[in-house]
Structure 1
């Protein structure tokens, strides 16, 4: 009979979350190569052996963070539905991605660092679950175009542009805030700009 995994105690769960939170901060700032178990342990306020009790290696911590991040990252795209107005659905997706850049900047930078390194720990997801989801939603966008409900655009590059224009505010937040200055709310202003940009792009032009 296979032994069932033991349930973690409240303290064990708390320690795991503390380690993951500290590791996220270190990885997003230093990248994978620039981060050590010793740095994670110090940031978590735990000993190195204590960290290694919960995670066998730095790679194991990084992989768990990325898996959790991808679940979070794919959620808004999964929520794009065939029902409702197509432009509203696409704008809701762009808006949610912008909100995630605002609310999860460290996670965004963790993902960006991984991709810049060739995504060695994300390739199965990028070429599998993400690709399948993008194909599904691209087919939906293509259907809306064929029905004349939105203007013709390349569905894949429409999604790529949303990723680029929203994640920029997290990955280059220091630059954005330095350029705009302290009197601006970059995320509120970006939401207005993206709404205007994509509504104009997707609006079907009347036939003359």
Structure 2
């Protein structure tokens, strides 16, 4: 029974991510989510109770890996290793969870109306921690004296764009869909730009 529940909730979450990403929260219909999941509409309410709860579950499904991606940040860690691990993780999120990433980006752009105060604080606290680590590396001369806030913003933008603007990127590259080689090339490009840019001044 639990396997059926897990299968159905996974189907509904994926379908909801796609619908919310394409149409936004207000325009998305529960019936469309059910149809995309290949399940009866009552199943959506059985597992998630309401569209609002389902939307929040989609957000939670992306917030957890976003927070997990910051695990390597440690003032005692080596900057190149920490930043490399973080960038790899962030590109993987864009590759593996593109629809949930778009939903999250839209939520942030609209002022995070559906995020709880606890979730907002978790995200902000993690960002402050990461920025403090970067500042400690700057203070110790391990990386160049750049603004740590804008370094983080730049990494977010460079990695998140492969989820938010995947259609445009695929169109420009002439592909129907990005493949693993594209994400690998993106990761290596971002790594080179960030790590070379963070190298201590001669």
Give the TM-score, by structure 2 length: 0.89
What secondary structure does 2:66 align onto?
helix
Q: What is aligned with 1:145?
A: 138
- For 1:79-118, list aligned pairs within 5 A: 79-118=72-111
Q: Deviations for 1:106-145, whole angstroms, at most 9, x for unmatched residues?
A: 1211111222332111252553011111111211111111
Provide closer, same or farther for how the CA distance between residues 126 and 159 of structure 1 changes in structure 2, counting only shifts above 3 A.
farther
Q: What is aligned with 2:189?
A: 193
Does structure 2 conserve the Cα–Cα contact (< 8 Å) formed by 1:180 and 1:186?
A: no
Q: Deviations for 1:133-184, whole angstroms, at most 9, x for unmatched residues?
A: 1111211111111111111111121111100011111110111121122498
Q: What is aligned with 1:3?
A: none
Q: Which runs of 5+ in 2 are unaligned?
A: none
Shift of 1:88: 2.5
User: Structure 1 stretches (4+) deviating beyond 3 angstroms?
Assistant: 182-186
- For 1:11-26, list aligned pairs within 5 A: 11-26=4-19
Provide closer, same or farther for how the CA distance between residues 13 and 191 of structure 1 changes in structure 2, counting only shifts above 3 A.
closer
Q: What is aligned with 2:163?
A: 170
Q: Where is the helix percentage greater, Structure 1 or Structure 2?
A: 2
Greater CA drift, 56-65 or 106-115 = 106-115
**Residue 31 (structure 2) pairs with residue 38 (structure 1):** yes
Q: Which runs of 5+ in 1 are unaligned?
A: 1-7
In 1, Cα distance between the equivalents of 2:4 and 2:186?
41
Shift of 1:24: 1.5
Provide closer, same or farther for how the CA distance between residues 69 and 144 of structure 1 changes in structure 2, counting only shifts above 3 A.
same
In 2, Cα distance between the equivalents of 1:196 and 1:49?
50
In 2, Cα distance between the equivalents of 1:59 and 1:47?
18
**Residue 136 (structure 2) pairs with residue 161 (structure 1):** no
In 1, Cα distance between the equivalents of 2:46 and 2:116?
27
Give the TM-score, by structure 1 length: 0.86
Does structure 1 conserve the Cα–Cα contact (< 8 Å) formed by 2:62 and 2:97?
A: no
- For 1:2-81, list aligned pairs within 5 A: 9-81=2-74
Greater CA drift, 9-18 or 188-197 = 9-18
Aligned residues: 199
